[in-house]
Amino acid sequence: MLELSAQVVDVARLATVEHRLERLEITRERVLEIAEDCGSGNLDPLPSAYHQILALFEDDQ
């Protein structure tokens, strides 16, 4: 029974992580849209926090 409880907790954690990843991917898409709206799609004028968000995805790839 204890093993089943641990599996339920693991599934809940996985669901939480998947949800956070989905939100980060949406954030990345929005940041890229903002960059496009700023002009040529150049990321330079964006605040450093936006660059940090995009760097998370670059490191993952």
Query: Residue 27 burial (CB < 10 Å; 0-12/13-18/19+)?
Result: middle
Task: Give the confidence band of 26 by pLDDT, cuts at 50, 70, 90.
Answer: very high
* CA 47 to the chain's CA centroid: 17
pLDDT tens digits for range 31-47: 888 878 776 566 677 78
Amino acid 19: pLDDT:
95
pTM: 0.62
